[in-house]
Amino acid sequence: MPSDILLRRTFEENLPRLMAEAGSAAMLTPPEVEESILGGVEVALPPLLEVLQEFIELTKTKHVRKSDRQRHLWHVPRERAMSNFEKAVPRRAKAGIDRITRDDALAFRAWWAARIEAGETRAVTANKDFGHLSQIIRHWCELKCHTDLENPFAKLRFGKTIDPLVSRPPFSRKWVETRLLT
């Protein structure tokens, strides 16, 4: 727990920490443990996968009336977004969420851009991933996080473009006359 939070707590709330820091005469507390107990060590935030699990727990009441299938359909895109981020930026996938930088998020966006340009997928799919990851971090920070954390996935969306995988040719005049107008 960071020292600024410890200072806002009452003496009674901090007493167990102080007692643990004091240790016993037979067994001295190691210096790194002392520093941690007294709030001198930065908070270690969980990795993205753990944040997803906590986010699911924290938002459980939003899904009370959903069927098992609806809950499954709600989980799948968030888990897929997580998996895609792990594929695109593997060096940061296991790090704490405070270690995920805007550059990592931009590398994820570049990974999606390359796939869109290659015709493998659509911009809409990438935007969904950005939205899900941003939502997970935003809600987790609001409900659980003790520090202000900048959301690296905010405002990554691709603009509205004509998607080559979705565009369809118009009906011919002859087809409309022979099929629809008859």
The answer to whether position 29 is within a domain reads yes
The answer to whether position 164 is within a domain reads no
Task: Assess whether 20 and 73 both reside in one domain.
Answer: no
Say what the pTM is: 0.69
Task: Assess whether 125 and 72 both reside in one domain.
Answer: yes
Predicted local distance difference test score (pLDDT) of residue 36:
66
Top-confidence range, 11-20, 73-82, 142-151, 155-164: 73-82
Cβ 79 vs Cβ 42: under 8 Å = no
Return the amino acid letter for 2: P
Q: In which band, very low, low, confident or very high, does the pLDDT at 8 lie, cut at 50, 70 and 90?
A: confident
Task: Assess whether 56 and 81 both reside in one domain.
Answer: yes
Report, as an integer, the average pLDDT of 109-123: 92
Range of the domain at 83: 48-143
Give the CA count within 13 Å in the CB-facing half-sphere of 62. Answer: 9
Cβ 140 vs Cβ 54: under 8 Å = yes
State pLDDT tens for residues 27-41.
666 676 666 666 666
Q: CA-to-CA distance for 131 and 153, rounded, in angstroms? A: 8
Task: Assess whether 59 and 138 both reside in one domain.
Answer: yes
Task: Assess whether 53 and 138 both reside in one domain.
Answer: yes
Task: Assess whether 135 and 60 both reside in one domain.
Answer: yes
State pLDDT tens for residues 118-132.
989 989 999 999 999
- Number of domains within the chain: 2
Task: Assess whether 57 and 91 both reside in one domain.
Answer: yes
Mean pLDDT of the chain: 84
